[in-house]
Structure 1
Amino acid sequence: MTEIRRLRRAQEEDKDFIWGILQQAIAKRREEGSEQWQDGYPNPDVVANDIEKKYAYVCVDEHDDILGYVALIFDKEPAYEQIEGHWLSDSAYAGIHRLAVNREPYVKGIATWIMQAVEPICKDLGYYSIRVDTNFDNAGMLRVFEKLGYVYCGEVYFRGAARRAFEKVLAR
């Protein structure tokens, strides 16, 4: 039996559940010994802002249970303007931030599914480039980027810390 998943815009009533998923991700990064997301970011205000600005998307199953969260942003990311390296394109881009997967219950492959599901949204809005970054020690996300054809472009800095930056140019 094939599982039915869809990506939908997050609503105000999803806010607490999304924050719970992000707290799971924060705890997981801490357990893995990472400094990523251990400085008070992200937080409930970030989630509220994502929802208000319509950046927030949730991956849901056939029962509308939330399996994962992502912020899909079409505004320029200031940190991406100062890359130590080179982006693949100079065109307008979508930025992916705060991708987190519900661990209760954990469904394998949700992060990959979300990364694939944002591509048609980007194309429909006329964005043929997706940029994303992660911590050097986030092995799970680094594997997803590699599997989906994202190209390492260099380093960007968030809150004083270097992050690995990737881009994928989508076919028109």
Structure 2
Amino acid sequence: MTRILCDEPLLFRPAVPADASRIQTIIRQAQAQMRAAGSLQWQNGYPGPEHIAADLFRGYGRVLCRPSSTGDAEVVAYGAVSFDGEPAYDAIEGEWSSDEAYVVLHRLAVADEMKRQGVATTFFHRTEELARARGVWFFRVDTNFDNRYMLHLLEREGFACRGKVRYDSGERLAFEKVLR
């Protein structure tokens, strides 16, 4: 299959409160896509506006934006990028490759009109750049066992499955990529 890559310059920046409405639209689109694919992930109201607000408050929210015809930058993808650790990862059923600091990406979603254009890949790459700039050499992600889009992306981007982690909402597969 030939993959179309986004050839537009995309700005990777911290999300701001003014982005919240667009972010929620993108999240709802992702929830609908998962539902249509038969995935159970994100089908219980998560992530909701309160999760996005918490991401913004903590400084975790990041967006990819493309220039629009009006000269503004339109948000086309959202993710929560954290260097503060993930408590669920402390109890992994498996083993991480290191106890060193890591970056974690949660809640990645791409706008419907930008899907299959390499936007999620770009988000991953920009997150890696951010981690390397901070001297962080491990990138961790978890996803539901039936999220085939994310599973395919993780495989393509060189992530290794390190085990399982548990949240109140259920068990997730845990992945890691060494950035050195």
Q: TM-score, normalised by structure 1?
A: 0.94
- Paired with 1:106 and 1:118, the residues of 2 have a C-alpha distance of 18
- Paired with 2:96 and 2:111, the residues of 1 have a C-alpha distance of 31
Q: C-alpha displacement at 1:118, in angstroms?
A: 0.6
CA RMSD of aligned residues (A): 1.4
1:106/1:76 CA distance change after superposition, 3 Å: closer
1:142/1:107 CA distance change after superposition, 3 Å: closer
Structure 1: stretches of 5+ with no match in the other structure: none
Q: Tell me what 1:4 maps to.
A: 9
Q: Tell me what 1:14 maps to.
A: 19
Q: TM-score, normalised by structure 2?
A: 0.90
- 1:102-137 Cα shifts (integer Å, max 9, x gaps): 013545211111011111111112211111000111
- Paired with 1:125 and 1:73, the residues of 2 have a C-alpha distance of 12
Q: Tell me what 1:99 maps to.
A: 108
- Paired with 1:145 and 1:8, the residues of 2 have a C-alpha distance of 22
Mean Cα displacement is larger for which, 101-110 or 10-19? 101-110
1:101 and 1:111 in contact (8 A); partners too: yes
Question: Is 1:155 matched up with 2:160?
Answer: no
Moved over 2 A (4+): 104-107
Map 1:1-172 onto structure 2 (within 5 A): 2-63=7-68, 64-106=73-115, 108-171=117-180
Q: What amino acid does structure 2 have at the position aligned with 1:11?
A: V
Q: SS of the residue aligned with 1:61?
A: strand
Q: SS of the residue aligned with 1:104?
A: helix
1:67 and 1:107 in contact (8 A); partners too: no
Structure 2: stretches of 5+ with no match in the other structure: 1-5
- Paired with 2:155 and 2:13, the residues of 1 have a C-alpha distance of 25
1:107/1:160 CA distance change after superposition, 3 Å: closer
Q: SS of the residue aligned with 2:113?
A: coil
Q: What amino acid does structure 2 have at the position aligned with 1:46?
A: H
